[in-house]
C-alpha cells in the first residue's frame, strides 16, 4: 500500500492507496509548532482507528507548499513508517510537458493536480483548487501544463476584510439570497461570495477564450468547490481526491 500526503497552508490531506483503490483518507491541521513525534502519534492513532497497519505501507509520496515543516514530516515518516519518503520536486517524472517559464516556481500540489486531471479527464481542460489560495491550471490536448492563475481563497478574503477594518466582522461563508443585502453581514456575504464566484467565472471564460476551446472541461477540488458549483454553471465536475490521486500516479511513475 502507498501513503500520500498533501501538505497545505491550512491542512494536511493524507490517504492510503492499495493499487488504484483509495482505502482511506483524512486530514489534520498544518502546524509549524508540532514535532515529528506529535505528527507520528496523530498518524498512528488514525491508522489504528481505521484498522490499518503502518507497517504495510510500501512507499510514501509527499507534496508540500509549506517548506518549514518538510523536515519534520520526513523525520516522522522515517521514525513511524520506517520508510524514506519521496518529496515531489522538479525533475521527477510526471508524464506532463510543463510549459512554465521556470518549472521550479510551480507548486507541487498544482503539479499533482495537473497529473491527475491529464490522466483522468485528458485535455483540453481547466482545473481549480479551492484551497487557502485559489489556483487554476490549464491542460492542453497534448497533456501539456500550459500555466494558470493564482488568487486568494474565500477564507483568506474574509479574514483580510475583518482584520483590515475596524468595524466589519468575520462572517459565515454562505451565499445570501439576494445580492442587495439589508444588514452588514449580508452586505459582506454578498460582496465576498458573489464577487468571488464572479471572478471564478471571468477567469474560466478568459482561459477558454485563450485556449480557443469553449468546451474545455472544468474540474474542481478543494473545500469551497461545492459552494461555487451550486451557484455557478462554470464547474463541470468536482473531484475531492484530485491531489491525492495525482501523488499516487507520480509515485508509480517514479517507482517504475
In the chain, domain spans: 2-87, 97-102+123-240
127 cis-preceded (ω within 30 degrees of 0): no
State pTM to two decimals. Answer: 0.92
Average pLDDT value for the chain:
94
Q: What is the DSSP letter of 56?
A: G
Check: CB of residue 235 under 8 Å from CB of residue 229. Answer: yes
Summarize pLDDT for 94-139 with one digit per residue, the tens: 989 889 888 888 889 999 999 999 999 998 999 999 998 999 999 9
Summarize pLDDT for 129-167 with one digit per residue, the tens: 999 899 999 999 998 999 999 999 999 999 999 999 999
Burial label, 202 (beta-carbon count in 10 A; 0-12, 13-18, 19+): exposed
Question: What percentage of the chain exceeds 90 in pLDDT?
Answer: 89
Catalogue the long-range contacts made by 34-39 (C-beta closer than 8 Å, 24 or more residues apart): 34/69, 34/72, 35/72, 36/72, 36/73, 36/75, 36/76, 36/79, 37/76, 37/79, 39/72, 39/73, 39/76
What is the pLDDT averaged over residues 15-31? 95
Locate 199 and state its grid cell. 471572478
The CATH fold of domain 2-87: Nucleotidyltransferase; domain 5 (3.30.420)
- Lowest-pLDDT choice from 56-60, 92-96, 202-206: 92-96
Q: Do domains 2-87 and 97-102+123-240 have the same CATH topology?
A: yes
What is 97-102+123-240's CATH superfamily?
A: ATPase, nucleotide binding domain (3.30.420.40)
Whole-number pLDDT of residue 256: 62
Q: Which of 201, 240, 199 is nearest to 219 (CA)?
A: 240
**Catalytic, out of 37, 53, 79, 109:** 109
Whole-number pLDDT of residue 70: 95
Whole-number pLDDT of residue 220: 98
| Cα 199 off chain centre by | 19
- Cα dist. 138→18, 26, 38 in Å? 29, 27, 38
Note if 109 is an active site residue: yes
Distance, in Å, from the CA atom of 35 to the CA atom of 10, rounded to the nearest integer, reads 17
Whole-number pLDDT of residue 29: 92
Could you tell me how many helices (H) and strands (E) the chain has, helices first? 8, 11
Question: What percentage of the chain exceeds 70 in pLDDT?
Answer: 100
pLDDT at 53 over 70: yes
Whole-number pLDDT of residue 196: 96
Amino acid at each position: 500500500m502507498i501513503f500520500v500526503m498533501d501538505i497545505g497552508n491550512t491542512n494536511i490531506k493524507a490517504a492510503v492507496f492499495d493499487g488504484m483503490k483509495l482505502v482511506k483518507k483524512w486530514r489534520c491541521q498544518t502546524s509549524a509548532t508540532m514535532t515529528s513525534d506529535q505528527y507520528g502519534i496523530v498518524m498512528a492513532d488514525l491508522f489504528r482507528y481505521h484498522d490499518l497497519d503502518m507497517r504495510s505501507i510500501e512507499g510514501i509520496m509527499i507534496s508540500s507548499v509549506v517548506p518549514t515543516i518538510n523536515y519534520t514530516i520526513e523525520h516522522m515518516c522515517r521514525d513511524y513508517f520506517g520508510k524514506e519518503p519521496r518529496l515531489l520536486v522538479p525533475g521527477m517524472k510526471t508524464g506532463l510537458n510543463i510549459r512554465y517559464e521556470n518549472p521550479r516556481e510551480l507548486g507541487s500540489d498544482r503539479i499533482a493536480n495537473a497529473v491527475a486531471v491529464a490522466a483522468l479527464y485528458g485535455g483540453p481542460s481547466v482545473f481549480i483548487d479551492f484551497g487557502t489560495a485559489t489556483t487554476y491550471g490549464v491542460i492542453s490536448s497534448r497533456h501539456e501544463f500550459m500555466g494558470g492563475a493564482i488568487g486568494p481563497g474565500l477564507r483568506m478574503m474574509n479574514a483580510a476584510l475583518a482584520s483590515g477594518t475596524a468595524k466589519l466582522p468575520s462572517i459565515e461563508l454562505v451565499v445570501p439570497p439576494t445580492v442587495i443585502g439589508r444588514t452588514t453581514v449580508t452586505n459582506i456575504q454578498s460582496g465576498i461570495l458573489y464577487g468571488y464566484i464572479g471572478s471564478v467565472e471571468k477567469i474560466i471564460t478568459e482561459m477558454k477564450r485563450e485556449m480557443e476551446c469553449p468546451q474545455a472541461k472544468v474540474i474542481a477540488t478543494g473545500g469551497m468547490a461545492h459552494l461555487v458549483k451550486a451557484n455557478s454553471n462554470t464547474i463541470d465536475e468536482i473531484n475531492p481526491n484530485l491531489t491525492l490521486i495525482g501523488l499516487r500516479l507520480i509515485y508509480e511513475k517514479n517507482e517504475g
